[in-house]
Structure 1
Amino acid sequence: MELNGTVSVDGQSGRAHTSSYSPASGGGAGGSLLVVASRLSGTGTLSADGGAGADGYGSDDSNGGSGGRIAIHAYETSRGVSFTGAVRARAGAAYGSWGAQAAAGTVYWCDGRASESEAALEGEANVHRCGVRRLELDNSDRVLTPYFTQLQLPAWRRLVEVDELHLGSGVQLAVPGPPVFDPVAMPLNRTAVVLGNVTGVGSGTSALHALAGTTVSLAGLRPGCDESARTGSGFARARSSGSCP
């Protein structure tokens, strides 16, 4: 698949106030894009940005919509090789007096193809036989958001591995636990998430939130900076430090 133009499922921008004392409507959330190809090439753009907020009467301005979801499954390694374009799922910009920026969306790359034997060793962590699994959260120049980008998992999924996690500035990622979890009756019914190399300008300022029943291992930081967060019945928040990018 060669892409040199733009494929967009951006949310619509909010509508400004049309009369006195009327608030503005918020921006729409970005949509979803799934690309499956033997190879992705070109210099084009895939976009699932949220729509921008709008001007309301007085201080009744509105927020932008959250970013959408983009997943790219390319059987031949494409990112940065045959495809040098842009892939983005940013939140729409908040307008004026609205202070809480919406959450970023996600861009997922299943780039290249692992052999059947390699994928079999990883089991459910690599059911699509991805060569490299890369997850990107990036709100570009938007301000820090208090909202979480939720990692969506099937109910049966208990093991997730991400080779590369790219974090833009001011984003927050939430990892859900299993549908049913009891730290006493079912302590082993957990969701395990293994994150490899963590990159991006937000690697020292972004936050990772793990809900009850989730074990998160950060395995790709440099020696001395490996961390693991395991939550029981409570809520854990782990933030990478500036000294451990």
Structure 2
Amino acid sequence: MTETTRLVAQSLAVWEEWNGMGVADRRVLLTAWADNVEQRGDVFETAAQMIRFHLQHAEALLEPVHDMPGPTGETNELYTAGRGLFLITGDDSLSLTALAGQLTATLVAGNCALVAVPAALRHDTDALLADLVKTSVSDRLVPTIDLNHVDSALADAPLCGVAAVASDALLIEMNRTLAARDGVLVQFVAENNADLLPIVASPTYLLRFITERTRTINITAVGGNATLLELGSGEH
């Protein structure tokens, strides 16, 4: 078993509990994360602002549970949930602020993440993740790997999505690797403008990290159902 395989297994092992917490509880922990990050000052203040930005929109876009029409005696609800494991990465253009946006969208949506960043960003990334662990989030939820292992992760890891900030050339190469995989297509959330971040800083960015689920609850007694069926058959 390779180191990356081991880290992926550990991350997925704690993912279901994280996903099961719900958006509101995840937002509480991630808000505390933003507080921790902000206290570091300098570039971390902008990163904290990005975290809060996405958490604000998560409250409006992800947290509400929507009632759906259904038969009498049945309630149907539409809600959001995480997809699974995302790879968060980028080239030398990846900034701490962009990384904070990628991570926040991934985590608040209910996913776990594998992080690979350039060497110049590794120290700040370690600090960012250390502040996350201080909030009681498991240190296994977001492990880091060496940037040299990204290609193998793209090809073989059980990913449900990839979020990358990089040049067009690298994004095209990554997309081709993902397209060559067998099985279900992997969601690719690509940002090629590292200065303005029109995608990462979009209010709806986090919608790229969710899946929609429906929950059906039958609140009618068995006898009631039998009676309705009997009445229906008697009309013909």
TM-score, normalised with respect to structure 2: 0.25
TM-score, normalised to structure 1, is: 0.24
Q: Report the structure, 1 or 2, having the larger strand content.
A: 1
Structure with a larger share of its residues in helix: 2
